[in-house]
């Protein structure tokens, strides 16, 4: 039974990764140039495969564990003042409201704590009916890809698209991908007074450790290369990944998800002040971030697509911040990443409690 559960978890994760790439414009990667030149062909072909995989996953016979009590979140409608969020909400209402269980803005936009550094964090939950119809799924994917333009309009250095879940995911929710605590800070983007999301959390300790390891390894490789980030896009990606590590670290250490804003305080006590100083320095950069205006020649890049991403990746580092990201800061960041990895490795070797148990520590 345990092996069957792990097999189902692996299949769910594989489908989830493929679906996330798909709705964020990655359909062409499998089909090469023909799909790039004929995007509708690519969308339809990949949608057919995803529908088959989804049917196989739902037909796998997995049922919720008795420990997995359903948890219901009532998410109020977004009432903030960021125009790009309202524009995205209007687009979703017009094009996709019948296809989504919910569409939520989260992160600093969802908690009404946005600063100039903030990017557009948003989650969509696809209905089963969408995942059963290749034509409908292809249409939804095209529209969601178009809607990433609102994210880029808010933040030209945006480095991710939509977070994506399905109705099946809600019944077997993986905390490692989207910690359920985030629903408590999210806001609904669809018409009405808000959204109601019910989910059952499954054990996901291995995925949580994998998520930490993946981000920590990516950051460490960049820092060990000893190269200064070239351009604002690369710099913001590095800083964002680095500032995500405390939440991932605490998630593995404590066996439960945590709001990113609380993770810094919860993680800091595990490290010497000298080691943690780089996190404080990067957090200060976030507070003082100023992306500046996009040059006229790059205005056309404020749209989805690989070519637009290429142009945006060439936007310069904000001048006021460039000289502050020096070799000393990068060395301190590397020291802290290594300390986080060492701490979790020592805890695992010592038999520390790392497993998720239905989302409860």
Q: How many CA atoms lie within 13 A of 243 on its CB side?
A: 21
End of a domain among 161, 183, 202?
202
The answer on 190 and 227 residing in a single domain is: no
The answer on 319 and 228 residing in a single domain is: yes
Does residue 359 form part of some domain? no
Does residue 354 form part of some domain? no
The tally of domains found in the chain comes to 2
Beta-carbon count within 10 A of 46 CB: 25
Structure tokens at 233: 């896009």
DSSP conformation letters of 302-341:
SSSSHHHHHHHTTSPPPHHHHTTS-HHHHHHHHHHHHHHH
Residue 194 belongs to domain spanning: 2-202
The answer on 220 and 270 residing in a single domain is: yes
Does residue 358 form part of some domain? no
The answer on 293 and 177 residing in a single domain is: no
Structure tokens at 180: 């359920």
Buried b (16+ CB within 10 A) or exposed e, 198-211: ebbbbbbbbbbbeb
Q: According to the model, what pLDDT value does residue 35 have?
A: 64
Q: According to the model, what pLDDT value does residue 269 have?
A: 95
Q: According to the model, what pLDDT value does residue 307 have?
A: 65
Does residue 356 form part of some domain? no
Does residue 138 form part of some domain? yes
End of a domain among 202, 218, 234?
202
Report, as ranges of residue numbers, the positions in the chain whose pLDDT lies below 70. Answer: 1-3, 27-36, 39, 61-67, 291-308, 351-361
The answer on 226 and 191 residing in a single domain is: no
The answer on 304 and 259 residing in a single domain is: yes
pLDDT by residue (tens digit) across 227-249?
Answer: 788 888 899 999 999 999 999 99
Place of tokens 């142009």: 311
The answer on 317 and 300 residing in a single domain is: yes
Q: According to the model, what pLDDT value does residue 27 have?
A: 62
Does residue 361 form part of some domain? no
Question: What is the four-CA torsion angle of 350, 354, 357, 359, rounded to 10 degrees?
Answer: 150
Alpha-carbon distances, residue 166 vs 51, 54, 68, 110, 294 (angstroms): 12, 10, 18, 21, 36
How many angstroms separate the CA atoms of 117 and 287, rounded? 7
The answer on 329 and 309 residing in a single domain is: yes
The answer on 180 and 220 residing in a single domain is: no
The answer on 32 and 151 residing in a single domain is: yes
Task: Select from 247, 222, 246, 250 the least CA-distant residue to 236.
Answer: 222
pLDDT by residue (tens digit) across 28-40?
Answer: 555 566 666 776 7
Q: Are 253 and 347 in contact (CB under 8 A)?
A: yes
End of a domain among 171, 202, 233?
202
The answer on 318 and 294 residing in a single domain is: yes
The answer on 171 and 221 residing in a single domain is: no
Q: According to the model, what pLDDT value does residue 36 have?
A: 64
Does residue 355 form part of some domain? no
Answer positive or negative: Cα dihedral of 336, 342, 346, 347.
positive
Does residue 50 form part of some domain? yes
Beta-carbon count within 10 A of 280 CB: 12
This prediction has a pTM of: 0.90
Q: Are 84 and 78 in contact (CB under 8 A)?
A: no
């Amino acid at each position: 039974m345990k092996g069957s559960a792990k097999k189902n978890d692996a299949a769910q994760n594989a489908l989830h990764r493929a679906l996330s790439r798909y709705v964020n414009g990655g359909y062409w990667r499998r089909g090469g140039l023909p799909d790039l030149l004929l995007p509708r062909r690519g969308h339809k072909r990949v949608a057919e495969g995803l529908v088959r995989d989804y049917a196989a996953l739902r037909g796998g016979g997995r049922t919720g564990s008795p420990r997995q009590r359903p948890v219901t979140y009532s998410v109020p409608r977004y009432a903030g003042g960021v125009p790009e969020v309202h524009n995205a909400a209007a687009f979703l209402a017009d094009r996709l409201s019948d296809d989504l269980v919910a569409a939520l803005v989260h992160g600093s936009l969802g908690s009404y704590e946005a600063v100039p550094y903030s990017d557009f964090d948003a989650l969509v939950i696809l209905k089963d009916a969408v995942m059963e119809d290749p034509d409908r799924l292809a249409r939804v994917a095209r529209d969601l890809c178009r809607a990433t333009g609102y994210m880029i309009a808010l933040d030209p250095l945006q480095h991710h698209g939509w977070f994506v879940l399905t109705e099946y995911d809600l019944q077997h929710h993986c905390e490692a991908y989207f910690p359920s605590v985030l629903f408590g800070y999210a806001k609904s983007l669809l018409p009405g007074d808000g959204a109601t999301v019910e989910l059952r959390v499954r054990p996901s300790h291995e995925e949580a450790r994998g998520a930490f390891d993946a981000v920590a390894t990516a950051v460490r490789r960049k820092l060990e290369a000893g190269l200064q980030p070239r351009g604002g896009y690369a710099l913001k990606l590095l800083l964002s990944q680095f500032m995500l590590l405390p939440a991932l670290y605490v998630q593995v250490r404590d066996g439960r998800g945590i709001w990113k804003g609380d993770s810094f305080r919860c993680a800091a006590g595990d490290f010497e002040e000298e080691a943690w100083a780089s996190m404080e320095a990067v957090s200060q950069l976030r507070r003082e971030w100023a992306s500046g205006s996009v040059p006229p020649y790059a205005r056309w890049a404020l749209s989805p697509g690989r070519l637009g991403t290429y142009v945006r990746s060439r936007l310069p580092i904000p001048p006021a911040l460039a000289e502050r990201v020096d070799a000393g800061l990068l060395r301190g960041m590397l020291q802290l990443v290594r300390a986080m990895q060492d701490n979790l490795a020592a805890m695992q070797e010592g038999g520390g409690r790392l497993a998720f148990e239905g989302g409860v520590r």
